[in-house]
Structure 1
Amino acid sequence: MHSSKSKLGWMAIKMQWNSNFSETFHPERDLENAATINSVLSEFGLRFGSLLAHVLHPSTPSLYPCFTDLMTFDRFWNFPLLFTLFPRDIFSNIASVRCPDLNDLTDSYRWSMNLKPWILKNISLMASSIVSNTLWNLLFAALTCVGSQCCRRSRQPLGSCSLHIHAHSTSLGEKYERHCPGKGRMLDCVVPRPEGYRRSIPLPQSRDEVWSSNVPHTRLVEDKGGQNWMSIKKDKFIFPGGGTQFIHGADQYLNQISQAMVPEISFGHHIHVALDIGCGVASFGAFLLHRNVTTLSIAPKDVHENQIQFALERGVPAMVAVFATHRLLYPSQAFDLIHCSRWRIKWIRDYGILLLEVNRMLRAGGYFVWAAQPVYKHEEILQEQWKEMEDLTSRFCWELVKEGYIAIWRKPLNNTCYLNNDTGALPPLCDPNDNSDNVWYADLRACITQLPVNGYGSNVSTWPARLHVPPDRLQSIEMDGYISRKEIFRAESKYWNEIIELHTRFSLERYETTFAAALIDLQIDCWVMNVVPVSGFNTLPVIYDRRLIGVMHDWCEPFDTYPRTYDLLHASGLFSVEKKRCNMSTIMLEMDRILRPSGRVYIRDSISVIGELKEIASAMGWVSAVHDIGEGPHASWKILISENECDVLS
């Protein structure tokens, strides 16, 4: 299997055949129709051979050797006859030149750009009678866009890691977890926008309404309309702020939690970073944004297909994630409050292994809010579940406040209660050598994560000083010994001064996310998802200690989000490191997938890397320019600024 970067932009004709004709002809599947298929392909091949004879100028680079290469390349096994039918004398007067490296996007893009002028020069000949209207449209669209191969609309919107066929078991919810198929089988095409896509409605209006054409799925409305989740009004989805447990709306629900039940919660003062598990369309997080709380909303790709896509279109921080067998991709002591209003999560299974994961992510003194049927219904089976939940949380040393249909637990501030548990009590304490911040494909642990004895993660500064004071956990990050952590922290904090007025942003940072902090200082109405690459230092604990949000990720794999999520992508030094592990075009394709139309990309990297990325960006239809950084024109690094302006083919 060839690398995914060979599938971008080298030969517009190739990609149009691949995306259109392979939908019709499947010889391997339809062996009984082989004769008919061969006949059709033969006719098409002869027509196209005649077309090339008219179009190609004598000085055009030779195509025949390249067609020979294509005979054995990738999915072109569907068309073996196409290339054997071309008369060789058509090419006899054409000078032979080196064909592009099909595994090198940069090389193939350069080759296709060299070829394009000759074809465009003779494009009027394409209207001859030998060319059908269908072929004419395919060639003209391909040659004028010079774009990438477009995904079929049936392709998985979450990328190849969301395909459940790779799961070996499903008993614990594994089918909803990440299952990447391996190198060479990742998403290899540009995801087209839905028909009728419109520029997203900005915050704060997007909290209450979004364009229906941007998320063209209605099953969630049909299933949850009676619970006041959302409705359809003309060309918009409307979000009234209701939910399964938000009987009187999200605002009243939040008031009950923070005013009637636990005043110490004090949203926006004591609580700054929250996690909403099983978030629906993220009304909980949407209404907390206006209370100065950044809430990360998570849910699996379930039967409704796209809860998270609705959340992201509303401008709410959200990710596809699931409780099953692996840790969530967030550090220990990340959240001041964790909320769940779904009762179907089996919190009590395996000695509470899922609730122990909540305990790991919850900051010392943090709160777990549960609004579910076992809390308030008196059916026998539900009451048994509630008793088991009470027993389990008491072993975690959590303190309970219960009122009506809401239960709120508080995590202890230190290990005193844990250490007083009886020897042999279940669940046990985790081994002190267990790294509670190791989250990438890390299995869940059926043990209680102890709090650091030095108070790291517990003693965070108050807001807004919390954003700029180097947190204690900065000292615990495994870095090169000669690096002064606090000096890097302060230097990076001074660097970022870009002012871009967009409401959602995304950062592929490698250090302490000072890009996000700079945006907050400028009081720009936005949030930033800071992504820590698995190949770098794990700075996630520092990110959350600063009241920011982030996630661990391997950029050689698809990111856990839907297409068209972010208005801006920023990467600093990412490609210089990751190019040693995977193709840069793989990352660029993924960036294109998650970038909104007309979105911008800022990439800061070495001159050589920026040069390659600029050509890849052009192949994908981005409009790009290279700029100097603060050190001046002779610096070894540059900034590539790109905008996604190309209308990809449907």
Structure 2
Amino acid sequence: MKYSKEAKPERAGGSGGAGARAVPVALMLLLLCGFSFYLGGIYSTGRTFTFSTTTTSIIPIVSTTKQEGSAIALAIAGHGNGNGDEEVEFSECPAEYQDYTPCTDPKRWRRYGNYRLSFMERHCPPPPERAVCLVPPPRGYKPPIRWPKSKDQCWYRNVPYDWINSQKSNQHWLRKDGDRFTFPGGGTMFPNGVGAYVDLMADLVPGMKDGSVRTALDTGCGVASWGGDLLARDILTVSLAPRDNHEAQVQFALERGIPAILGIISTQRLPIPSASMDMAHCSRCLIPWTEFGGLYLMEIQRVLRPGGFWVLSGPPINYENRWHGWNTTVEAQKADFDRLKKMLASMCFRLYNKKGDIAVWQKSLDAGCYDKLTPVTTPAKCDDSVDPDAAWYVPMRSCVTAPSPKSRAKALPKWPQRLGVAPERVSVVHGGSGSAMKHDDGKWKAATKHYKALLPALGSDKVRNVMDMSTVYGGFAASLVKDPVWVMNVVSSYGPNSLGVVYDRGLIGTNHDWCEAFSTYPRTYDLLHADGLFTAESHRCEMKFVLVEMDRILRPTGTPSSGTTHTSSTPWPPSPRG
């Protein structure tokens, strides 16, 4: 998307037709020894569900009584007037809510300023304004195409957007073929296909071939073809894009089975800790990197590891041969490139490699460079008043984040060895240690084996997009690393911030507060894993809102089924967190 100081928000238009068929929604839950698993919602006419919740479990109680319309009835234990359970009924949202993203809702953009496109950041509605209803799928929705075929195609009716097809098909982002979209792997800066583009990049950055580069950030990701190609190279990418006029970039990415999240570099830090990414990438993302004193570059500098790479293609790279197609002058592009190089050098980057349309900078490992910076130099060195890992509604700062001595002292092992090695910063997590991480890994290895016995789809091509809603060290994701899934690890914004450990292990994730909606579209995850979530959060907000949010982001399975409760007498994992 293009950034502009004068950019104005578009008015949202409802995408659901007035005659769209209303279909009921239900959640199928598996209760496993105090740990909770959630599968995609099931759409079946004339069925309602009642949920009884406690501090340690959620048990679905199936009601087959037909009622007018569709609803889920929730029995919330411990709430109400003290006379037992309170039953709360949720109706289905209107059809125009089929792509409802509560905290990035275009209908609310006009309430917020245009400065640096901050209206596209998270702005969650207060409780009285929440749409407490069940988001319906679009008419004709069907189960997504399975991985790995989904990387190259998806059903049109699941993401029925004609605008992006008409505007971007000439750039080979995607094209509509009958009842599906196909993804040729093209892009503005890779007309020969994303594979050839990444091959050239890997020649410029050899670490992409030997496991040195494992985690990556793609800003302005389009339909995430870059991140999709990197999956086959054992590089895990967080593809980032806002909800903007390129409709549903992130929804297309997740429908394809590629990791992505709604977000924008604007006024707030990205919900990612410092020194987490091995690589960051911008392919003609049109972010004004040199404006606002280089503030956006400073955010990239914060999230990159010492020795990490920033890759840029598009203006002003290769301006000598490209300027005439950019509606500019060669002098203006040369000045912009010189300014970019100067800013990056002042932030302790060096130009690592450059060829054709691609330039690569590397963040310095040299402590001496950062030692030259002070709180009064230009750029300034960040003081210690704000934790560099704090990233939930934390304003970006116009200063350079110096790497901690621990992050500079010892290089991370290459992938996949780093997955099992306790990183240095495990010790900064409250109660964290190498032995605690090892114990956590063993616990989740045993738990996952049990899960697969109860849920054979886990580990098959039937489950692709997985979220661990309340992780500590990423142990559940580590137990699935050989399966055809990827896991979004979520670390609570109100608990110990262990997300840096997750990234150091070569996994990906985000901070989040589950009293608010997650930064994703509806119907984007196949499976949710919640260990201790309700115990940890029930004192902060009503769990009925969390359940409605879970229903919003789960994919429908497309198969009518009743909820099932499973229990086990096997005493694993020990000391469940609820």
TM category (shorter chain) comes to 0.7 to 0.9
Whether 1:227 aligns to 2:187 is: no
CA contact (8 A) 1:173 1:324 kept: yes
Distance in structure 2 (CA, Å) of the matches to 1:204 and 1:143? 34
Give the aligned partner of residue 240 of structure 2.
298
Distance in structure 1 (CA, Å) of the matches to 2:409 and 2:488? 20
Give the aligned partner of residue 127 of structure 1.
none
Give the aligned partner of residue 227 of structure 2.
285
- Give the drift of 1:145: 10
Give the aligned partner of residue 306 of structure 2.
364
**Counterparts of 1:193-342 in structure 2 under 5 Å?**
193-259=137-203, 261-262=204-205, 264-267=206-209, 269-342=211-284
Name the SS of the counterpart of 1:402 in structure 2.
strand
Give the aligned partner of residue 12 of structure 1.
none
More helix by share: 1
Q: 1:407 is matched by which residue type in structure 2? A: A
Give the aligned partner of residue 58 of structure 1.
none
- The CA RMSD measured in Å over matched residues stands at 3.0
Give the aligned partner of residue 412 of structure 1.
364
Give the aligned partner of residue 577 of structure 1.
536
- Give the drift of 1:105: 8.2
- Give the drift of 1:203: 1.5
**Counterparts of 1:492-503 in structure 2 under 5 Å?**
492-496=440-444, 497=448, 498-499=451-452, 500-501=458-459, 502-503=463-464
Give the aligned partner of residue 30 of structure 1.
none
Distance in structure 2 (CA, Å) of the matches to 1:439 and 1:322? 13
**Counterparts of 1:232-631 in structure 2 under 5 Å?**
232-259=176-203, 261-262=204-205, 264-267=206-209, 269-377=211-319, 378=323, 379=329, 380-400=331-351, 401-421=353-373, 424-455=376-407, 459-477=411-429, 479=430, 483=431, 485-496=433-444, 497=448, 498-499=451-452, 500-501=458-459, 502-520=463-481, 523-598=482-557, 623-628=563-568, 630-631=570-571
Distance in structure 1 (CA, Å) of the matches to 2:261 and 2:152? 20
Cα–Cα, structure 1 residues 361 and 167, in superposed 2: closer, same or farther, change >3 Å? farther
Give the aligned partner of residue 52 of structure 1.
none
- Give the drift of 1:250: 0.6
Distance in structure 2 (CA, Å) of the matches to 1:274 and 1:251? 16
Residue-by-residue CA offset, 1:624-650 (whole Å, 9 max, x unaligned): 3142364179x98699xxxxxxxxxxx
- Give the drift of 1:279: 0.4
Name the SS of the counterpart of 1:435 in structure 2.
coil
CA contact (8 A) 2:98 2:138 kept: no
One of 118, 121, 127 as aligned partner of 1:177: 121
Residue-by-residue CA offset, 1:267-286 (whole Å, 9 max, x unaligned): 45211111110000000001
- Give the drift of 1:387: 1.8
More strand by share: 2
Q: 2:149 is matched by which residue type in structure 1? A: Q
Q: 2:487 is matched by which residue type in structure 1? A: V
Distance in structure 2 (CA, Å) of the matches to 1:195 and 1:215? 10
Cα–Cα, structure 1 residues 145 and 590, in superposed 2: closer, same or farther, change >3 Å? closer
Residue-by-residue CA offset, 1:89-113 (whole Å, 9 max, x unaligned): xxxxxxxxxxxxxxx9869xxxxx9
Cα–Cα, structure 1 residues 256 and 472, in superposed 2: closer, same or farther, change >3 Å? same
**Counterparts of 1:31-42 in structure 2 under 5 Å?**
none
- TM-score w.r.t. structure 2 length? 0.78
Cα–Cα, structure 1 residues 327 and 395, in superposed 2: closer, same or farther, change >3 Å? same
Distance in structure 1 (CA, Å) of the matches to 2:441 and 2:488? 17
**Counterparts of 1:105-116 in structure 2 under 5 Å?**
none
CA contact (8 A) 1:457 1:545 kept: no
- Give the drift of 1:410: 0.5
CA contact (8 A) 2:98 2:137 kept: no
Cα–Cα, structure 1 residues 143 and 407, in superposed 2: closer, same or farther, change >3 Å? closer
CA contact (8 A) 1:376 1:404 kept: yes
Larger Rg: 1
- Give the drift of 1:208: 0.8
Distance in structure 2 (CA, Å) of the matches to 1:558 and 1:570? 16
Distance in structure 2 (CA, Å) of the matches to 1:632 and 1:543? 23
Name the SS of the counterpart of 2:564 in structure 1.
strand
Name the SS of the counterpart of 1:308 in structure 2.
helix
- Give the drift of 1:199: 1.1
Name the SS of the counterpart of 2:275 in structure 1.
coil
Unaligned runs of 5+ in 1: 1-19, 21-103, 108-112, 121-138, 601-619, 640-650
Distance in structure 2 (CA, Å) of the matches to 1:638 and 1:428? 43
CA contact (8 A) 1:556 1:581 kept: yes
Name the SS of the counterpart of 2:407 in structure 1.
coil
CA contact (8 A) 2:490 2:512 kept: yes
Q: 1:505 is matched by which residue type in structure 2? A: V
Unaligned runs of 5+ in 2: 1-17, 19-49, 54-60, 75-88, 324-328, 453-457
Q: 1:252 is matched by which residue type in structure 2? A: A
Cα–Cα, structure 1 residues 572 and 629, in superposed 2: closer, same or farther, change >3 Å? farther
CA contact (8 A) 1:568 1:599 kept: no
Name the SS of the counterpart of 1:569 in structure 2.
strand
Name the SS of the counterpart of 2:556 in structure 1.
strand
- Give the drift of 1:320: 0.5
CA contact (8 A) 1:456 1:473 kept: no
Q: 2:384 is matched by which residue type in structure 1? A: P
- TM-score w.r.t. structure 1 length? 0.70
Distance in structure 2 (CA, Å) of the matches to 1:219 and 1:387? 37
CA contact (8 A) 1:242 1:248 kept: yes
Cα–Cα, structure 1 residues 631 and 301, in superposed 2: closer, same or farther, change >3 Å? same
Distance in structure 2 (CA, Å) of the matches to 1:277 and 1:567? 24
- Give the drift of 1:175: 1.0
Cα–Cα, structure 1 residues 488 and 414, in superposed 2: closer, same or farther, change >3 Å? same
Distance in structure 1 (CA, Å) of the matches to 2:177 and 2:129? 40
Residue-by-residue CA offset, 1:134-167 (whole Å, 9 max, x unaligned): xxxxx55549999841111223724321134474
Cα–Cα, structure 1 residues 512 and 374, in superposed 2: closer, same or farther, change >3 Å? same
Cα–Cα, structure 1 residues 449 and 636, in superposed 2: closer, same or farther, change >3 Å? closer
Cα–Cα, structure 1 residues 622 and 166, in superposed 2: closer, same or farther, change >3 Å? farther
Give the aligned partner of residue 91 of structure 2.
149
Distance in structure 1 (CA, Å) of the matches to 2:268 and 2:72? 46
Size of the alignment, in residue pairs? 485
Q: 1:536 is matched by which residue type in structure 2? A: G
Q: 1:388 is matched by which residue type in structure 2? A: R
Distance in structure 2 (CA, Å) of the matches to 1:382 and 1:581? 51
- Give the drift of 1:553: 0.3
Distance in structure 1 (CA, Å) of the matches to 2:200 and 2:62? 66
